[in-house]
Structure 1
Amino acid sequence: MIDLRSDTVTKPTEEMRRAMFEAEVGDDVYGEDPTVARLEKLAAQQLGKEAALFVTSGTQGNQIAVLTHCQPGNEVLLEEDAHIFYYEGGAISAFAGVQTRTIKGDRGAISPNDLRKAIRGDDVHFPETGLICMENTHNRAGGAIVPIENMKEVYELAAEHKIPVHLDGARLFNAAAALGVSVDQLAQYTTTVQICLSKGLGAPIGSIIAGSQSFIDRAKKWRKRLGGGLRQVGVIAAPGIIALTKMADRLYEDHERAKQLAEGISNIDELNVVNRVDTNIVVVDTSSLGIAANEVLEKLHAEGVLAVPFGADTIRLTTHHHISNSDIDHVLSVFNKLFGKVIQ
């Protein structure tokens, strides 16, 4: 199977597996795991923050950030298709007792003017705006990059109102690779940031949240409350170090293959690529085929290609480090075989 469902399906490299086997470990709840300490120090340096904390997943990292920043009854402002709102099970309401207020964005980017209107005034009837969240790259916008200038404007507006900004940077390294900048140039316009060590970076598990030392000190208690205090966790932190030091430089390959895939699919009369492919995600409108997206996926599966639904009439394909140029060629041959005549 050529698995294009997500970059979460990646498996650890041989170097990562060796690092897991050889990792020096200790009890991390006591702060005694040297491998975790190295990972957290490295991540903080790369992200330009004072401190960092290893967590089990991106969702856990995002939830810890909301819990640490907010008080029950606060309102969190975020783009209407943000992962925190769309794909995390309503956790910020269930755990933090906050409500969300979503803002329609442009390819995942919130207009500062719309954001300014959404920030609550000082009125007994209103919840306080406790946090503003951004997402870069933006998953449901098709891996779109939120421009640095937009991030800067949002951050400066938040600072005017003394509101913290949290970045869901699950694929922040993809954004940095596509823009040709270091991740700290993006993370500078955040109070806190979460990055996934899995996905494009290829580690088998784990994420990082980073911010000020005082934030991380408070976040550790929320990690403990959520059951995230782990023991000899260096065995899963070790591949995270390799992810940060060895895997970011190859992300452009995934982006090139996604663009190659999108170009080939666009040449099929019955299919339409609906996103501008900035990074490693391709979203395809299949409505002209006259069948539901799930049926399209079944046909692809029968030919050895895996993808996921992204709506009733759209599917998503995601490239990653297990996908080669020959895989892309084969996937395009399958699409052409199944779904129509190539435009000449």
Structure 2
Amino acid sequence: MIVDLRSDTVTKPGKEMLNAMCNAQTGDDVFGEDLSVNLLQNRTASFFGAEAALFFPSGTMANQVAIMAHTNQGDEVICDYTSHVYRYEGGGIAANAGASVRLLNGVRGIYGKKEIIDNINSDDIHFPKSKLIVVENTVNKGGGACWKQNQIEEVWETSKKYNLKLHLDGARLWNALIATKIKPSNFGKWFDSISVCYSKGMGCPVGSVLMGKADFINKAKRIRKRMGGGMRQAGYLAAACLYALENNFLRIENDHIKAKTIENVLKNIDCVLEILPVETNIILFKLETVEKANSFINILNKKNILALSTGGGWVRFVTHIDITEQMISFLVKELKNLNNIKF
């Protein structure tokens, strides 16, 4: 038994999802003829209250295409310093959009009106033009932290007042919806664009969807083609996402319960110095040194328990659809045994 807690991207399709994929109605999506892709795009857009949607092979591509569609070369993107679009997308904002980045110092990746206003450039030819705000929900580096509705509305109102576009990197928005109970269709009102990953909490092998106004999606489709993201019979992948939307969304709450179980055990492990509050399916905790964190990971690895180092002595667990109750029981036992080991 391997307990893979490195990420919720490691999941494999179950028999029912595979059956849906094998029986997908497909066509050439570059010609707009893939029935399963079209259905997924329509259903995802409807779920989030958006006008239109576009299927992508990855969340990174969806985010980068959105940034390119919203900005021109030399513009500036405002986001938190922990943001995935800044830290983990290969320098794409600079390389793809030719934009600069203004970093905010939020609390677990969450910031407000004052932070935004203080970082909007004045209309001066020496400065890049502030053009786009990016929100991440949940916040990966914030330990799966969720934005509350009033926080989102404050940023939305600020973006409108200062004529800034607002993009949501919602790779784990599914988890935020379960945790906060915010109405999904509100997001289409608040954000100019939204990306969601079906390959994280929803348990699909591949696939993200970008949403927004129809004219924005038409522009994004042209950029996606230029980026090499035009897929042909992509309906086999879209069918997995359609299955997940119907069957895997509400079950995400089980992942959150498992994460809280792990958090409660970690509170009593001597070598763990700090745990970020667990709100969803990410458990982010710190050991005294990088070396001790690496030793912690290596000891668990020998027990077929896989974890991820995120730097600076921090370790990450992520629960997901493939983590069973048996696995959680085994993990709890092995974590408790760590109190008998000197790091």
TM-score interval w.r.t. the shorter chain? over 0.9
Letter in structure 2 aligned against 1:62: N
Provide, for residues 36-59 of structure 1, a one-character-per-residue CA deviation record: whole Å limited to 9, x for no partner: 000000000001000000001000
Distance 2:80 2:340 in 1: 36
Note the C-alpha offset of 1:104. Answer: 0.3
Provide, for residues 100-127 of structure 1, a one-character-per-residue CA deviation record: whole Å limited to 9, x for no partner: 1100001211121011110111111111
**Within 5 Å, which residues of 2 pair with 1:197-216?**
197-216=198-217
Gaps of 5+ in 1: none
Does residue 1:6 correspond to 2:7, yes or no?
yes
Name the residue aligned to 2:147. Answer: 146
Name the residue aligned to 2:51. Answer: 50
Name the residue aligned to 1:244. Answer: 245
Instruction: Judge conservation of contact 2:65–2:224 (CA < 8 Å) in 1.
Output: yes
**Within 5 Å, which residues of 2 pair with 1:296-335?**
296-335=296-335
Instruction: Judge conservation of contact 1:148–1:186 (CA < 8 Å) in 2.
Output: no
Distance 1:303 1:216 in 2: 47
Name the residue aligned to 2:338. Answer: 338
Instruction: Judge conservation of contact 2:188–2:212 (CA < 8 Å) in 1.
Output: no
Letter in structure 2 aligned against 1:26: G
Instruction: Judge conservation of contact 1:265–1:272 (CA < 8 Å) in 2.
Output: no
Letter in structure 2 aligned against 1:285: K
Letter in structure 2 aligned against 1:207: S
Distance 1:186 1:68 in 2: 19
Cα separation, partners in 2 of 1:3 and 1:68, compared to 1, 3 Å: same
Question: How many positions carry a matched residue from both structures?
Answer: 340
Distance 1:307 1:81 in 2: 20
Letter in structure 2 aligned against 1:159: K
Distance 1:54 1:274 in 2: 36
Gaps of 5+ in 2: none
Letter in structure 1 aligned against 2:23: E
**Within 5 Å, which residues of 2 pair with 1:1-344?**
1-287=2-288, 291-340=291-340
Provide, for residues 252-294 of structure 1, a one-character-per-residue CA deviation record: whole Å limited to 9, x for no partner: 1000000000001111222234211000011121217x94322
Instruction: Judge conservation of contact 2:273–2:287 (CA < 8 Å) in 1.
Output: yes
Distance 2:168 2:25 in 1: 31
Letter in structure 2 aligned against 1:327: M
Distance 1:329 1:264 in 2: 11
Provide, for residues 225-277 of structure 1, a one-character-per-residue CA deviation record: whole Å limited to 9, x for no partner: 00001111101110011111211100110000000000011112222342110
Which stretch shifts more, 124-133 or 184-193?
184-193
CA RMSD of aligned residues (A): 1.3
Instruction: Judge conservation of contact 1:273–1:282 (CA < 8 Å) in 2.
Output: no
Cα separation, partners in 2 of 1:80 and 1:112, compared to 1, 3 Å: same
Note the C-alpha offset of 1:187. Answer: 4.4
Letter in structure 2 aligned against 1:164: K
Distance 2:236 2:141 in 1: 32
Letter in structure 2 aligned against 1:316: R
Letter in structure 1 aligned against 2:195: Q
Instruction: Judge conservation of contact 2:51–2:212 (CA < 8 Å) in 1.
Output: yes
Note the C-alpha offset of 1:161. Answer: 1.3
Distance 2:105 2:246 in 1: 36
Distance 2:165 2:291 in 1: 45
Larger helix share, 1 or 2: 1
Distance 2:247 2:200 in 1: 14
Letter in structure 2 aligned against 1:46: F
Distance 1:176 1:310 in 2: 25
Provide, for residues 122-144 of structure 1, a one-character-per-residue CA deviation record: whole Å limited to 9, x for no partner: 11111111110000000000000
Note the C-alpha offset of 1:182. Answer: 3.1
Letter in structure 1 aligned against 2:136: E
SS in 2 for 1:208: strand
Distance 1:202 1:111 in 2: 32
- Give the share of equivalent positions with the same residue, in percent: 39
Which stretch shifts more, 25-34 or 182-191?
182-191
Instruction: Judge conservation of contact 1:25–1:234 (CA < 8 Å) in 2.
Output: yes
Instruction: Judge conservation of contact 1:171–1:200 (CA < 8 Å) in 2.
Output: yes
Letter in structure 1 aligned against 2:330: H
